[in-house]
Structure 1
């Protein structure tokens, strides 16, 4: 059985890239016992654990209090760990267990949208609504800031836990953009400047490619390159 302190509670304030990448991968390994690249997500329960571990790993990489970066209170995070990662022994500072997130308007709107479209029972849908809303504030593709390996994992996550909302994205719009467009439409507002997407100058903003390297893979590559020292051309010096 894996027995360890939940290090990110007390060590997530590291600011250098090397500490943060090791913190993210170490967090995922601590929670799941495996490297993110080797995660088995064939079953729904395995997939849920992978998603939760990925989000917590991404939150760790950002530095600062993990509950705030993950969109949860300290008590919610402790309960999540108890339910989904019971083999991890948590040793957290008391003040962080009572941590409460600062909710801005953007977080609240996306959170309420997701909360009202849950398609699974139990705490996980409520937690994920908060976690996704908080990570959506970050500047990268949403799947990247959730720590997932690709956009397909985000689509599966939303289709599983927020099926009514996911089903509305019939044109495969970028998910973050889709959230905000849905919020506008539900309020009777018009976000778009043209009635037909194909005629819009911002088409790629809404529907452009979302492929790329995951955050943890990218950071790991940067750390390995830095460890190899300065390079001239393709060769270390």
Structure 2
């Protein structure tokens, strides 16, 4: 894509499930230049770009206005793209640019929790706090809602940009549950029904396994398998 009108491309995609995931893959590729599985995240700067592209790709898969799904205003999204992906030409309509992200109380509380625990300088901490808070209301594991490849990337993200908060998760609780537990504790409230986690009936909800394959990785694998299959013909064995 020598001339990448990213948002125009995403708006033009069809709405069926397969193209939703394909839209996410192409959004990530347009921003980073490679598919997600080939991303180089050795340096912190590369990792930050990977995280931002992953979140935008995941948000694009949900359909609707990208700023709202990503948790940013149109102007914030434009600023983010200009700062972290300056080589990508992005065409943002006036309507999208003027859009504002509506927040409910749940999103605001998680965002403010993260904002108070920032550990890096610049705009990225504020943008990530808003994006993580918005994506946290989606139904999957948080690393999946953010479009990341695994939970380890989420832990690295939080340890890098929200280190004081991440350091409090000493028992490796699921991050969404940990956010809400932290909010309760900061307000002097008790969320749990038992004083000891191992005695709680909800233990697996808080500490259960969070492994798996991301939607983008799964879809890309399926596309590669389809491409490798022979064309259906009269000689196809039945």
TM-score (norm 2): 0.91
Question: In the alignment, is the contact (CA less than 8 A) between 1:24 and 1:58 conserved in 2?
Answer: yes
Question: In the alignment, is the contact (CA less than 8 A) between 1:118 and 1:162 conserved in 2?
Answer: yes
Secondary structure of the 2:182 match is helix
Give the Cα–Cα distance (whole angstroms) in 2 for the partners of residues 222 and 34 of structure 1: 18
Question: In the alignment, is the contact (CA less than 8 A) between 1:12 and 1:63 conserved in 2?
Answer: no
> How much does 1:220 deviate?
3.1
Number of paired residues? Answer: 232
1:30 is aligned to 30
RMSD: 2.1
Question: In the alignment, is the contact (CA less than 8 A) between 1:12 and 1:23 conserved in 2?
Answer: no
> How much does 1:21 deviate?
1.5
Give the Cα–Cα distance (whole angstroms) in 2 for the partners of residues 109 and 10 of structure 1: 30
Report Cα offsets for 1:75-100 as digits up to 9, x if no partner.
Answer: 00000000000011111211100110
Give the Cα–Cα distance (whole angstroms) in 2 for the partners of residues 42 and 228 of structure 1: 31
Question: In the alignment, is the contact (CA less than 8 A) between 1:143 and 1:154 conserved in 2?
Answer: yes
Secondary structure of the 1:7 match is helix
Give the Cα–Cα distance (whole angstroms) in 1 for the partners of residues 65 and 43 of structure 2: 31
Give the Cα–Cα distance (whole angstroms) in 1 for the partners of residues 171 and 10 of structure 2: 43
> How much does 1:18 deviate?
2.1
2:118 is aligned to 118
Give the Cα–Cα distance (whole angstroms) in 2 for the partners of residues 227 and 182 of structure 1: 47
Question: In the alignment, is the contact (CA less than 8 A) between 2:10 and 2:60 conserved in 1?
Answer: no
Question: In the alignment, is the contact (CA less than 8 A) between 1:72 and 1:101 conserved in 2?
Answer: yes
Distance change >3 Å, CA 224–CA 63, structure 1 → 2: farther
1:220 is aligned to 220
User: Where does structure 1 lack aligned partners over 5 or more consecutive residues?
Assistant: 230-234
